[in-house]
Amino acid sequence: MQAFEYARPGSLAEALSLASNGRRVLFLAGGTDVIVQLREGRRTCDLLIDLKRVPELTTITEHPSGALEIGAAVPLAEIYEHPAVRSRFPALVDAATIIGGIAIQSRATLGGNLCNASPAADSSPALMVLGALARTAGPSGERTLPVADFFLGPGRNALQPGEILVSVRIPPLPTNAAAFYHRFIPRNEMDIAVASAGAFLALDPQGRIADAKVALGAVAPTPILVPAAREALVGRTPDTEAFADAGQAAHDAANPIDDMRGSAAQRRHLARVLTVRALEHALRRIRAHQKEHPNQQ
């Protein structure tokens, strides 16, 4: 491992100042990836900035609007154990509980998972269908962009030099809406998705689909939204035929590769199957909530 300096700022302003000093900088949120990458020589830096003491990056905030803001350096275990996440955004629990094992989850972060920009990352499709926004800060100030626009390619994200991912903001879900995320892996734990799918459904008072989103992982150079799947769903009854059409749209949108984990043909097939099942599970969550809260429909 190449020698580097280490800094642990106590504020966002201090972190940004350290990042703008002209040296090659890497940020440490959980460290479960960057330390390994440094040790293996896949990444190098002059300065490693530990963000674990920056308040904006280490808190979960519930806003009066119902939105939830999660600091980029909040550990995954803290996220999926948070009451608001568990009750209102279970799709994020779906993703956070399968990133690594328990020991990894107590250290690894949502921001780190996003910033690695892996096409197979588990948090990305879940956040994309939830309409999450990434808040960043850098030399030019703060900006906000959809998580769906955060990925530029394998291992490449939209952060500019000296810019930090501060938090991820998830808007409140409308009435009669739910999301679900899952993946296919060849074993049960600590594996990378061969393919994955997240789905969001919102129903109108008549029970038809008012809005929908489908996002796929591990089937393209970046996680992708599938606009054609939304077009196949909106205005229709949430039934087998509608979900099958959305699954076909996901199959057609997939642009996978062959590698040691799976073939391109298998991934296209999985994009269809996982999309249909994710939609089915999202619908079940809506139905379960309607039974528990009949006056909220």
d(CA 176, CA 97): 24
Q: What pLDDT score does 119 carry?
A: 96
d(CA 48, CA 4): 7
- Phi and psi of 73, rounded to 5°? -105, 15
Q: What burial letters (b/e) apply to 41-59, b meaning 16+ CB within 10 Å?
A: eebebebbbbbbebebbbe
Same domain, 157 and 185: no
Total number of domains in the chain = 2
Q: What pLDDT score does 287 carry?
A: 96
The CATH number of the domain where 59 resides is what? Answer: 3.30.465.10
Chain segment 21-67, per-residue pLDDT in tens: 778 899 999 888 888 889 988 888 889 999 999 999 999 999 999 99
d(CA 2, CA 56): 30
User: Please, what sign has the CA dihedral across residues 120, 99, 263, 277?
Assistant: negative
Chain segment 206-249, per-residue pLDDT in tens: 999 999 999 999 999 999 999 999 999 999 999 999 999 999 99
Of 170, 198, 229, the residue that ends a domain is 170
SS3 category, 242: helix
Strand partners, 26: 48
Of 108, 138, 170, the residue that ends a domain is 170
Same domain, 15 and 157: yes
Q: What pLDDT score does 293 carry?
A: 78
pLDDT at residue 77 above 60?
yes
Q: 65 and 24 in contact (C-beta within 8 Å)?
A: no
266: number of Cβ within 10 Å? 15
d(CA 159, CA 278): 30
Q: What pLDDT score does 127 carry?
A: 98
Q: Measure CA 150 to chain center.
A: 10
Chain segment 242-294, per-residue pLDDT in tens: 999 999 999 999 999 998 888 999 999 999 999 999 999 999 999 998 888 78
Q: What's the pTM? A: 0.94
The residue range of the domain holding 127 is 5-170
Chain segment 158-209, per-residue pLDDT in tens: 999 999 999 999 999 999 999 999 999 987 655 789 999 999 999 999 999 9
Share of the chain above pLDDT 90, in %: 80
Chain segment 4-32, per-residue pLDDT in tens: 889 999 999 999 999 887 788 999 998 88
d(CA 82, CA 216): 26
Q: Where are the beta strands (DSSP E) in 73-157?
A: 133-138, 141-146, 151-153, 156-157
The CATH number of the domain where 209 resides is what? Answer: 3.30.390.50
What are the tokens at 153? 């390619």
Same domain, 144 and 230: no
Same domain, 137 and 183: no
Which has more confidence, 179 or 104? Answer: 179
